[in-house]
Amino acid sequence: MQIGLAETRPAVKKEEAKVSDDGDSSANRPRRSQRWYDSQDMRGFAHRQRTQQMGIRREEFLGRPVIGIINTWSEMSPCHIHLRDRAQAVKRGVLLAGGYPVELPAMSVGEVMVKPTTMLYRNFLAMETEELLRSHPIDGAVLLGGCDKSTPGLLMGAISMDIPVIYCPAGPMSNGQWRGTKTGAGTHTKKYWDELRAGNITADDWIDLESRMTRSIGTCNTMGTASTMTSIVDAMGLTFTGASSIPAADSGHVRMASACGERIVAMVAEDLKPSNFLTRASFLNGVVAYMALGGSTNAAIHLIAMAGRAGVSLTLDDLAQAAARIPVCANLFPSGEYLMEDFFFAGGLRAQLAKLSSELDLTARTVEGRTLGEAIAGAECFDDDVIRGAANPVVPLSRGVTLALLRGNLCPDGAIIKTSAAEPRLLDHTGPALVFDSHAELSASIDKPELEITEDTVLILRNAGPVGAPGMPEWGNLPIPKKLLAKGVRDMVRISDARMSGTHYGACIVHAAPEAAIGGPLALVRTGDMIRLNVAAGTLDMLVDEAELAHRRAAWRAPETPYQRSYAALYQAHVGQAPQGCDFDFLAGRAPVPEPPIF
């Protein structure tokens, strides 16, 4: 297997990616940046003058495509800590191809450190990306991201701006191991936290684990939200095909970044914008990858939001239909038993897509200037246990799927569950509700010895949705009470209007819509109500008669928000619900935005 992108080089001759000495592209097409730099009035003078103020010679930028490098690097984002170095590699590629690279920092929505949740700021990053590209003399852009919300945030903005862009994924971290056992970021954090609470490992063990799971640069090494989203956009054609699988610490990752810089110059010359190749087929190819990888439930929200920016219709029903057809084929945590570095050495996403070629639209185009079919032609798999086909799945359809869609009087607009990572016995379940109105209440109560709970109880957390939290945090993997952990219980039915980390597992029903904070049915359920879950039938109901529900609905009052100002107030006023992608109402869609006037 070749490490790097020799097998996925752009189908463009090197000289076509260059800009001629007189500043004309191969297509002699006017570029956006010329509005800033080419005019002979005072404004044009000022733009050229201020660029030279930075020590840049006229020959370095005049007549060359200006390539923006949108960089989500931050010292508070461990998954992106290497992106400052990768930006330098991108610049090498841009310069090689005759462009002028400029680095533009953007909000780094790195998980773990950002509170209350990075989802609160996904739309912020989308706005920032779009406006950075619009307000500056940028002809094309390389987007540097990878951790969870950075991928959809960057691409939502770039799709709306609609100039040539290529995504450079941050790459997964190297494999972790603890005492001979593979350990994945997030997945085993949750597993060993439960074991610590159950008394099966010691406090010293817990401290030792801190340095064992996340032992290199890069995003989570499981099939969490980060690798789910980068793999999806890879299959959609927004990266070099297979780029999402390259580990962050691999030298091939640096070469890939340089190749992105070279390729974007050619894309500007070709005027290859997202609107020129992103179609419904592109998104459905991404959905195929999502389901086969056993990807994160978070992707359901992000895919729908990105599709909305592209003017493509995509719904939860589309996702559920694909999940019912495409089994989990990648043997990766949390549904399987390997990590992302194993996936890379087994052949990576190209090999996985090749095994699913019958499910893909191979005529869909990519940023490489060729079709997806051409991009995966000749892909080899080097470990059939890690990368499997539909005939030998990791999780057969009869056992579970990446996404099952539920509806009922508890979630009329939908809720989802990843049954491939849940205990099968819980997929047809009836039990009494135990309701928490906030995560603070949950945390304060869940381990109390006097808590009245059994393994049949259905744990419910509400007011944790887009408006209620706000930002829909990853609180959906509700903790199992310590006294049940001590009895060996490791899974229970849990329901919320929150999200769940893609690295986690369990019978967790998330994204219940409409959410409780806006009067959704989750606001009406009470402790003791019987809850009926039937995944096979696609239903989730509270067994309460309509007259009682009407009485509760009449008595319900919306919770007060503490946000009278700030970005959070804007978010609560304009965010949509999970089935629509949680985009802002004023950002969704394809309504044109004029180029900025220059006077």
Q: Average pLDDT of 575-597?
A: 97
Using the predicted structure, report yes or no on whether residue 133 has a pLDDT greater than 50. Answer: yes
Confidence label for 26 from pLDDT (cuts 50, 70 and 90): very low
Beta-sheet strands, E only, within 255-397: none
Mean pLDDT of the 110-124 span: 95
| 16 pLDDT higher than 90 | no
Radius of gyration for the alpha carbons in the chain, expressed in angstroms and rounded: 24
Domain ranges of the chain: 6-174+216-376, 404-559
If 0-12 CB within 10 Å is exposed, 13-18 middle and 19+ buried, where does residue 92 land? middle
pLDDT bin (cut points 50, 70, 90) of residue 28 is confident
Q: Please, what is the average pLDDT of the chain?
A: 94
Higher pLDDT, 344 or 112: 344
pLDDT score at 340: 97
Cβ-proximal residues to 171 (8 Å cutoff; 6+ apart), any chain = 146, 218, 219, 244, 246, 247, 248, 249, 250, 253
CATH class of 404-559: alpha beta
**CA atoms within 13 Å, Cβ hemisphere of 28:** 0
Q: pLDDT, tens digit, for every residue of 505-521? A: 999 999 999 999 999 99
- Give the best-scoring range by mean pLDDT among 13-17, 21-25, 495-499: 495-499
Tell me: the pLDDT tens digits for 405-417?
A: 999 999 999 999 9
Going by pLDDT thresholds of 50, 70 and 90, the confidence category of residue 211 is: confident
Query: Does residue 438 carry a pLDDT above 90?
Result: yes
**What average pLDDT does the segment 8-31 reach?**
50
In this structure, how many other beta carbons lie within 10 angstroms of the beta carbon of residue 30?
11
Give the pairing type, strands 165-169 and 176-178: unpaired
Q: Residue 443 pLDDT more than 60?
A: yes
pLDDT one-digit tens code per residue, 316-332 = 999 999 999 999 999 99
Higher pLDDT among residues 441 and 186, named by residue: 441
Q: Would the pLDDT of 13 be above 60? A: no
* pLDDT at residue 29, as a whole number: 80
Average pLDDT in the 122-144 region? 98
Query: Residue 27 has what pLDDT?
Result: 54
> Comparing 17 with 82, which gets the higher pLDDT?
82
| Reported confidence tier of residue 9, pLDDT bands at 50, 70, 90 | very low
Q: 433-459 burial string, b = 16+ CB within 10 Å, else e? A: bbbbbbbeebeeebeeeeeebebebbb
